[in-house]
Amino acid sequence: EAVVLDAGASDRAQLLRDLEETRPKYIIDELGFFNADLSLKSYPELQAFMTAYRPLGTTGRFFVYRRREFSKKYRERHGRAD
């Protein structure tokens, strides 16, 4: 029986720790643009974290996500309901 090791699992675990620690305002995903299977939202260990981010769209070959709490604060400050 073959055992397949996910070499990227430890890297994704480190990425998740870094993201949870820094909670960046924006997250940029380049790989997902070229291959949906490699997008940040495609990995189960990152999916829960990424629910705190709203997709803004693409710019060039990058998917851009913004932390939802910033979106909410902006709308509240500027009287927008969207």
Residues near 75 by beta carbon (within 8 Å), at least 6 away in sequence: 81, 82
| pTM score | 0.74
> For the chain (length 82 residues), average pLDDT per consecutive 10?
68 93 94 89 93 93 90 65 52
Question: How many angstroms separate the CA atoms of 38 and 35, rounded?
Answer: 6
Sequence length of the chain is 82
What φ, ψ does residue 5 adopt, rounded to 5°? -100, 140
Rounded to 10 degrees, the C-alpha dihedral 16/54/33/49 comes to 20
Beta bridge partners of 54: 66
